[in-house]
Amino acid sequence: MNTTAVIKDSSINVNSPLATSTFSRILIDYLQTYYRNPERDLIIMCIGTDRSTGDSLGPLIGYKLDKGLRRYNNVFVHGTLDEPVHAKNLKDSIEYVYSTYRDPFVIAIDACLGKLERIGYVTVGHGPLKPGAGVNKELPAVGDLHITGIVNLGGFMEYIILQNTRLNLVMKMADTVSEAFQYALWKFSKTTEKEQSGFH
């Protein structure tokens, strides 16, 4: 069981009116609680493939974040539409991250399947993500934090369900997460700068 600080509200419905601002506040809380050493390289690992609509959430978020986060010296995005991180290269990608970056703090992002009433919800959690669990694949767990988006119903014919997921929902989730991320990192870096310069 996790004995570190538990943040109560950790999920939002992307169809709610204030989804982006609410999710950015949740992300800021998680960064302030768990990413305590801003000297560490922050890696956003977006897992999935653009060959399946439901599984394209990760690469779409990576694509949207990639350019916007280049102004930060120690924030790196892995997994985009151009270079997705998926089942076949996940192990190599994880090894690359841990051998290349300075004490990496990894936030792993992936789509998942779930209950009908939870479709459209995005959740942040502490600890690693277990990619491929929804489609019965044994893949390595990854992440200090994880973000999952429930794109469709789980429980049967997972591959077909992922293929038949609406792109509209996946795009809405990708927009919400990427916009919230950009604001949260901006706000977090401003707060960190103030603390380091002695202003509170």
Q: Which residue has the higher pLDDT, 21 or 158?
A: 21
The whole-number pLDDT of residue 67 equals 87
Share of the chain above pLDDT 70, in %: 90
pLDDT at 200 over 50: no
User: CA of 115: how far to CAs of 5, 119, 134, 152, in Å?
Assistant: 27, 7, 12, 8
Do the domain assignments include residue 3?
Answer: no
The whole-number pLDDT of residue 133 equals 61
pLDDT class for 36, splitting at 50, 70, 90? Answer: confident
- What is the mean predicted confidence (pLDDT) over 173-190? 95
Do the domain assignments include residue 193?
Answer: no
- Would you tell me the crossing angle of helices 167-196 and 57-68 to the nearest 10 degrees? 40
Do the domain assignments include residue 180?
Answer: yes
Query: For the chain, what is the domain count?
Result: 1
CATH (domain of 108): 3.40.50.1450
Do the domain assignments include residue 1?
Answer: no
Do the domain assignments include residue 171?
Answer: yes
- The predicted-structure confidence for 129-168, as pLDDT tens digits, reads as follows 988 765 667 889 999 999 999 999 988 788 888 888 999 9
pTM as predicted: 0.91
Print burial letters for 76-97: b (CB count within 10 Å at least 16), e (below 16).
bbbbbbeebbbbeebeebbeeb
Q: Give the range of the structural domain holding residue 87, as residue numbers without chain letter.
A: 12-28+38-188
The whole-number pLDDT of residue 9 equals 67
Least confident of 22-36, 53-67, 96-110, 136-150: 136-150
Do the domain assignments include residue 135?
Answer: yes
47, exposed or middle or buried, with CB in 10 Å at 0-12, 13-18, 19+? buried
Complete DSSP assignment for the chain:
---SPPPS--EEETTSTTHHHHHHHHHHHHHHHH---TTSPEEEEEB--TTSSGGGHHHHHHHHHHHHTTTSTTEEEE--SSS-B-TTTHHHHHHHHHHHSSS-EEEEEEEEEE-GGGTTEEEEEES-B-TTGGGT-----B-SEEEEEEEEE-SS-HHHHHHT--HHHHHHHHHHHHHHHHHHHHHHHHHHHHHHTT--
